[in-house]
Amino acid sequence: MKKKVGIIGSGIAGLSSAVRMAARGYEVHVFEANGYPGGKLCEISIGNYRFDAGPSLFTMPEYFEDLFATVGKKFSDYCPYQKLDPITHYFYEDGTRYKTHASAEKSADEMAVQLNGNKKDILHHFENSKKLYELTAETFLHQSIHHYENFSFIDLMKISANLKTLNLFTTMHDINHKKFKDAKLVQYFDRFATYNGSNPYEAPGTLNVIPHLEHNVGAFFPKGGMVSISRSVYNLAVELGVHFHFNTKVNEIKVEKKKVIGLSFNEVKREDNKHIDVAKSEFLPVDLVISNMDVAYTYRKLLPNEKHPEKTLNQPRALSAMVFYLGIKKEFPELGLHNIFFSKDYKHEFDRFFKQQSLAEDLTIYINISSKYEKDDAPKGCENWFVMINTPPHTGQDWDTLIKNARKNIIAKLSRILNEDIESLIEVEDILEPRIIETRNLSWQGSLYGNSSNNKFAAFLRHSNFSSKIKGLYFCGGSVHPGGGIPLSVLSAKIVDDLIPKK
C-alpha cells in the first residue's frame, strides 16, 4: 500500500513537491483553497486583456529542467521559453534611458555610456556576483542549512576562507557606493535587493549575488506568459496521478505523539476575497505533510495545539506590493517587456517602506507588458500594463488612502516621463494590494517573500524545511529556506525531497 503525502497549497513550490513526491512513489494529495493551481503565479482577465497576476520575471529555467528530468521529461516540451534581449528598459525623470541585455558586455557598454560608469568596473561587478553565487549556491541554496550532515569540513573551511568575499558585515548599498561614483549606477545595483523584498541600505552585501542570475545566466519569457510555468508543472503532476483538491481549505494538521497523522479539511467558496465554508470537515490520514502555506499561517492556523517558533515567526517581514492592472489603448514602442521608472531619492523611498511603514510620493515603478511577446494578451493597438510598486507589509495602514495617493502619483509620473496623458488611455483596470495578497494567498501581512533579508544572519533565521519537533512535517515555498521568488521556491521543493529519506 502506497504511503500518502498531503501538500498544503499549490504554489509553484507545492506543485514542484507534488511532482517529486509522485516520482518517489507516494500517493499525493494537494489541497488548495483557491479554484486554480499556481498560487501567486496565476493570471487574470479584464475585458479583452489578459495579465499574469503575480511574478513576472523568469530566471534559472535549469531548476525546472532538473525538476522535469526526475521523471524523464523535458520542461521545455511542456513550457517553451526564449531568452530575452533586451531584458529591461530603464527610465529617469531627467531623460536618462538605457537597456540591459542578454550579453553582460553589451549591458556594460550601454550602462557605461548612459550612467557615466567604467565598463571594466561594471563587468568586474558582474564577475564578483558570479563568484558569490558559486561560493554560496551549493552550500546555502541547494541544500538544507539546518541539517548538520549537509556541512562537511571542507564546506566550512571554504566559507571561513571567503568571509570577506561574502560581504556579510557590509550593506549592499555600501558595497555598491564604494564601487561606483554615479548615483544612478549605484541605484541600479541596489535595486536587486527588491528581488527578495529587502532594503539595500540594511541588507548584507551578499545580496549582490542576485545580478548574476540576470546578467550572467539571463532572463527568459515562457510562451503563453508566466502562468505557463505553473500550468506546465500542474499538468505534469496530473499525468503522474497527483490528486488535486481545489476550493478546499485545510483546517488543521493533526498530530499525535509529536507525529503527523493526517489533515482536517473542508470545501469552501470565495466571497469578497474570503474563503467561506460550504461543507463539513473531513479527515485524510497521511504519512507526511508538506506545507507550501506561509510558515507563519501554518503554525498559527493549522497547528493550534503545538508550540510555535515565535522568534522565527516574528522576524521582520519582506516588502509587499501594489499592482494596478491597466488596459492601455495605445502601443508604446519605447517600452519593452520589463520596464523600470526609478525614483529620485531611493534612500527616502526605503525609509518610508521600512521605518514609517508607508509610501513615499515619488516611487520606483515597474511595468510588465506581456503583450510585447503575446499579442493576444491585449486588443490590437493596445497594451496590458502590469504596473507595480513595492509597499511595506500590511500592519494596519490606511490602505484606501495610500492606494488613492499612489495611483495619482504613478499616473502623473508615467505621464511626465512618457509625455502622454496615461489616465485618458486606461480602458480597463483592477488592483492587487497587500490586504488582498494576505487573504487570497494567505501570505502573512501580505509579504511576497516571507521574512526580509535585512540582517546578515537572515538566511539562518528563516524557518527550516522540516520541523524539528513534529515528525513527518515539512515546509516549502518562499517563506522558508532558501527564500522567496520562483527559483528559490522550486529549490525548496528539491530540498524537502532530499530531506525526507534522511529524516
pLDDT digits (tens, 9 = 90+) for 91-120: 999 999 999 999 999 999 999 999 999 999
The whole-number pLDDT of residue 249 equals: 97
- 377, 370 Cβ separation under 8 angstroms: yes
Least confident stretch, 26-30, 158-162, 448-452, 479-483: 158-162
pLDDT of 133 over the 80 cut = yes
How many Cα atoms within 13 Å fall on the side-chain side of residue 237? 30
* pTM, 2 dp: 0.94
Percent of the chain at pLDDT > 90 equals 84
pLDDT of 138 over the 80 cut = no
Architecture of domain 4-44+59-74+225-313+461-502: 3-Layer(bba) Sandwich (3.50)
Could you tell me which of 469, 475, 471, 503 has the C-alpha nearest to residue 491? 475
CA distance 473 to 261: 10
- 25, 37 Cβ separation under 8 angstroms: no
Residue with cell 523611498: 349
34 burial level (CB within 10 Å; 0-12, 13-18, 19+): buried
Please state the separation of Cα 125 from the chain's center in Å: 24
What residue type is assigned to position 170 of the chain? T
Q: In the chain, what are the domain boundaries?
A: 4-44+59-74+225-313+461-502, 108-215
pLDDT of 140 over the 70 cut = no
The whole-number pLDDT of residue 276 equals: 87
What residue type is assigned to position 412 of the chain? A
Range 470-496 average pLDDT: 95
The whole-number pLDDT of residue 457 equals: 64
